[in-house]
């Protein structure tokens, strides 16, 4: 089996991607600081796949520990780099923490990729690199507008760092995956979004309100220039997103890339407003949400959704799950994890 390093492997997207990688014949080694994640994800991975994943707990900002991990595994065929702080609002309040963590960890991964000749790297980027795009849907040639948050700026900077890295190191092959809004849970109900800290993403906040963990949902902004006044995002099921990483890794190991730094949008390809997502949840679950429309939140863009045509053509990838599938699986996961913790 080909062995891959997954950073941030105990996190939401990382853990679902590990399941997808194992199911497609890869051996996975995980590293995670567990600042914003829970090692319980490893048990869920083993329950779903039957495979126990080797996991290391340390901060990737520590170069020597990162180097030691690469040295212990000279047979890595690639790295999928998820590990990063990712809360938009928190990044506005603590920009220095985001620059320190997200950029230093990436620099250390780049250092080890070069030193140990692990020449396939997949970077977890974000639709936030587009800023307030002047035209929708965005495609990979859409210019980056100014970042709306320090988090988004770290993703823009990360992409620029990797592009320069690839210019100087022709043997290195990089795929930049620009995620839109990952949501939903594994269909087994055994794994889903389970924030260690207070949930900030819309879908887990919705399910926590519905289950009674929160009294109310606040919609940040009802006066945007959108069809109902709330922000529009492109929501993608986490397992569709996970599949794109497996396809990207195979794409690189089979040397099908045209350049040594490729970029792909990953989304459903259409936008849903915050209020439309709420309506989709109510329709799927039969639950009525208690929500209130409030003021805008710093760092939010008005609307963003993508074209995924390039990923479809070159990776053979396309999303297979709808916003209703996202809400259904997220709700099943919320009910099961709440029952366990009650």
3-state secondary structure of 140: coil
Is the distance from CB of 64 to CB of 108 less than 8 angstroms?
no
**In this structure, what DSSP letter does residue 35 have?**
S
CA 269, CA 149: separation in Å to the nearest integer? Answer: 23
CB atoms within 10 A of CB 218: 14
In the beta sheet, which residues pair with residue 80? 6, 122
Question: Locate tokens 């209130």: which residue?
Answer: 292
Closest CA to 304 of 126, 138, 124: 138
Query: Exposed/middle/buried for 173, CB within 10 Å: 0-12, 13-18, 19+?
Result: buried
Active site residue 151: yes
- Which residues in 299-323 are b (16+ Cβ under 10 Å) and which e? bbbebbbbbbebbeebbebebebeb
Active-site option among 151, 179, 224, 305: 151
Q: Give, in order, the Cα–Cα distances in Å from 181 to each of 86, 88, 199.
A: 12, 13, 14
Show which residues are catalytic: 151
């Amino acid at each position: 089996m080909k062995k891959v390093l997954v950073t941030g492997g105990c996190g939401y997207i990382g853990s679902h991607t590990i399941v997808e990688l194992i199911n497609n014949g890869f051996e996975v080694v995980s590293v995670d600081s567990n600042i914003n994640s829970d090692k319980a994800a490893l048990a869920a991975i083993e329950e779903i796949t039957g495979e126990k994943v080797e996991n290391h707990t340390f901060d990737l900002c520590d170069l020597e520990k990162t180097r030691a991990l690469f040295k212990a595994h000279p047979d890595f065929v690639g790295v999928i780099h998820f590990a990063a702080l990712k809360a938009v609002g928190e990044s506005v309040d603590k920009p220095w923490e985001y620059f320190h963590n997200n950029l230093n960890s990436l620099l250390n991964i780049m250092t080890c990729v070069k030193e140990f000749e692990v020449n396939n790297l997949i970077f977890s980027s974000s639709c936030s690199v587009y800023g307030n795009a002047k035209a929708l849907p965005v495609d990979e040639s859409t210019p980056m507008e100014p970042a709306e948050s320090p988090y988004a700026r770290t993703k823009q900077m990360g992409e620029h760092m990797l592009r320069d890295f690839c210019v100087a190191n022709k043997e290195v092959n990089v795929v930049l995956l620009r995620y839109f809004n990952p949501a939903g849970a594994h269909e087994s109900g055994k794994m889903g979004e389970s924030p260690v800290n207070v949930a900030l993403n819309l879908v887990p906040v919705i399910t926590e309100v519905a289950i009674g963990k929160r009294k109310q949902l606040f919609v940040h902004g009802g006066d945007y220039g959108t069809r109902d006044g709330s922000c529009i995002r492109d929501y993608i099921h986490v397992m569709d997103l996970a599949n794109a990483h497996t396809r990207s890794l195979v794409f690189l190991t089979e040397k099908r890339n045209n350049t040594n730094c490729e970029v792909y949008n990953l989304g459903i390809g259409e936008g849903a407003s915050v209020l439309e997502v709420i309506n989709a949840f109510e329709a799927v679950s039969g639950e009525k949400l208690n929500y209130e429309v409030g003021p805008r939140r710093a760092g939010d863009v008005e609307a963003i959704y993508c074209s995924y045509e390039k990923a479809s053509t070159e990776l053979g990838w396309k999303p297979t799950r709808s916003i209703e599938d996202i809400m259904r699986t997220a709700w099943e996961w919320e009910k099961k994890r709440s029952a366990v913790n009650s």
